Structure 1
């Protein structure tokens, strides 16, 4: 018989937290969800993937972030209680969705997803609705509760207010990761006055809005996010590590398809190589498992897999140059040819990586991803979209920034004395300017 997790704990549980000081848990359901094996797996998945190669403090996990998002949502609810448009019956739905929003993330999430055409959002749904401890806990609340939680996280829920608390342009998720990431890596960019923002948040029928008096705190938050993306999340050294990581997965998958005999067979990855992983396969994976294979593969017979793993495990990363696709990409075929001639397989050792971010956007109906803009509530009760009130936000609103970098093994290139002519031409093409 399924145990009931209804009601409150006899005594409040607290987690000591470096960002929020304390995280408070009173609901039996939340405490039970934290104790599930699927949620505990998040202790073994870093929040920032390969960023620890750049910022040595970036060792915090999806587990700590998920608790943080839960805590911010709990504090939002405290502000909303007793106000128009807030339904106290939605409290547990908001808390559970906040806690579980990242439950589907895997090891080195985004690099892993690219190579294996996987999507952490699909896995999140599978964990919440599948044969899991998480589903068992959620189902004890009501037969439809798991589905309701999944829909909030997927942004398909009819409950738009709760959805916006977890996922919008100013939400509990972003407010936690900006502060938590900044704290752990030691930069000042991600800090903003969250307490002020929480105090001026108000519920409406279909989204969270901000009192006009809190506009400057929101401006600070948006600029913090902008700086964190370009100074931290898209850092070129982190991206170099991601490129190598992706190429390791790509090479291992290719070797598997060729019938190659690994010295240490990656049994945990076989179903991913075949494109048919089950939920059980996915939940067996974490970063400790992946790094175990990388460690062992440093002694593989295949030279490319071996080299890439040595590079990743010992932080011997690729060099990079800024590229303009309109210039260097015209020389792409020639660059590949020169790399191949010098004995460097261009499929693994010549990689263009692009990053782009849209720091804030107003409403654009009909777009593939419709972003709900931040609205200010004026003293007369009317709503006004943030960029129409704030010159700071208007200056970056709707402006997508993209940059492109080309990664290559600079150490190998410099050491190839027998290919001086090719080396000179490669350098010339890499440093070509328009």
Structure 2
């Protein structure tokens, strides 16, 4: 069925007259030879990703982390293209699905909004839902995909949603060893200036093989995959969960919550936050969403520096000028009573704990194997043995076995040390707060 569809792809989207090349600091070059991919890159929705940072507030911790989801998406496409080249000619790989894989790889992040995950938590949006809507709705992306045929956008959306019938195709984009993770580890390591995320990408993709409904790894490539998994483990704890980055995320979250609260209370803004109103009214349409990017958000943060509401004004200047909250280690079970005593002391000191006393938790499971019935079941990485049988990675690798199924969680309590130190009219509350924070 799909083989017939793809014959139309070759008719409607022949290769370009010459290969287009993007210079890339991670992969050296990103090659585009398909007209379909070239036209998708040129759409307004894909170009918008130039205005969405890949790592949100991490640039306030690692100043080089200014890279965007545009570059990452090109990188995921390029890794997928190279893996498919390795698969070419293999009896379990259907070449008719090549353009489908490449399109899904390129578009997998197209629905992300500004400061993606923080923004989603505050406004209850879902970047995956917007990705589907961009691909299936009235957009330039949809119109380009429809040139293949009427069903092609639906197939691309299904691959990204992990509902496509051929799970081998899905696993290239979304699995425990997929093109998405491989690119963001290397790219984020490069732009943050660390070495934790580095691994032998070329070795990994050269030992990947199509096998029924999944991508597997030749046994000879096990050590390269061990390196990849340990790189992921280190990147999460050294970069993605960095406590300073989380402090910036806390302040960003509180700014957005304060604006939302003020709007609901009928507060008169000096300049109406027009792009936010559909969000506040829960009437956000795709066109409204696509107008939101990080340049828009940062503009309003500057505008709100002049607002009369002192909490909004203070939080915005903290974010813009990097005057972040301090933090202490926090155990929810051990320090439960301390937290509520701190809230009372903050009230006594006229510091609103709703905005200035925050517990933030980060958790990660670097690798796990399939455990039927458990929440978030994960398909494992399988090694392809010389006799053609499969063996789950942690059964062969003592390194991977050591971290399999082990979830690590970190809790921090964030607070504004400067406001506490400046307390003069509330000396008793100041003393109590400092004692509790040192508890």
Does the TM-score normalized on the shorter chain lie above 0.5? Answer: yes
Aligned partners of 1:368, 1:32: CA distance in 2, in Å?
A: 39
* Per-residue deviation, 1:5: 5.0
Q: Of 393, 397, 404, which residue of structure 2 is paired with 1:386? A: 393
SS in 2 for 1:77: helix
Match of 1:129 in 2: 136
Corresponding residue of 2:5? none
- Indicate yes or no: 2:222 matched with 1:215: yes
1:375 to 346, 360, 382: 382
The separation in 2 between residues aligned to 1:424 and 1:158, in whole angstroms, is 62
Shift of 1:422: 1.5
Aligned to 1:225: 232
Runs of 5+ in structure 1 lacking a partner? none
Give the whole-Å Cα distance in 2 for the aligned partners of 1:85 and 1:417. 73
Range 94-103 or range 415-424, more displaced: 415-424
**1:59 alignment partner in structure 2:** 66
Contact 1:200-1:211 at 8 Å conserved across structures: yes
- Which of 195, 201, 209 is the matching residue for 1:202? 209
Q: Alignment partner for residue 36 of structure 1, among 19, 43, 57?
A: 43
- Residue of structure 2 in register with 1:306 after alignment: 313
Which secondary structure state, in structure 2, belongs to the residue aligned with residue 269 of structure 1?
Answer: helix
- How many pairs are equivalent? 429
How does 1:16-415 map onto structure 2 within 5 Å? 16-415=23-422
CA contact (8 A) 1:179 1:191 kept: yes
Deviations 1:342-375 (A, max 9, x none): 0111110001000000000000122332211000
SS in 1 for 2:275: coil
| CA RMSD after TM alignment | 0.9
Q: Distance in 1 between matches of 2:404 and 2:12?
A: 45
Q: Is contact 1:328-1:429 (8 Å) kept?
A: no
* Cα distance in 2 between the residues matched to 1:343 and 1:214: 60
Shift of 1:419: 2.1
Q: Secondary structure at the residue paired with 1:268?
A: helix
Between the aligned partners of 2:205 and 2:434, the Cα distance in structure 1 is 52
Structure 1 residue 431: Cα displacement: 2.5
Correspondence for 2:3 = none
Structure 1 distance, partners of 2:438, 2:368, is 34
Structure 1 residue 329: deviation in Å?
Answer: 1.7
> Structure 2 length as normaliser, TM-score?
0.97
Distance in 2 between residues matched to 1:87 and 1:369, nearest whole Å: 29
Could you tell me how far apart the structure 2 residues matched to 1:100 and 1:398 are?
Answer: 30
Question: Where has structure 1 moved over 4 Å in runs of 4 or more?
Answer: none
Name stretches of at least 5 consecutive residues in structure 2 with no aligned partner.
1-10
| Per-residue CA distance 1:124-171 (angstroms, 9 max, x = gap) | 001000000000011111111111111111111111001000010000
Q: Is the 8 A contact 1:84 1:204 kept in 2?
A: no
Q: TM-score, normalised by structure 1?
A: 0.98
* Counterparts of 2:222 and 2:80, CA distance in 1: 20
Provide the rounded CA distance (Å) in 2 between the counterparts of 1:357 and 1:330.
Answer: 26
Q: Aligned with 1:24: secondary structure?
A: strand
| Distance of 2:380 and 2:436 partners within structure 1 | 43
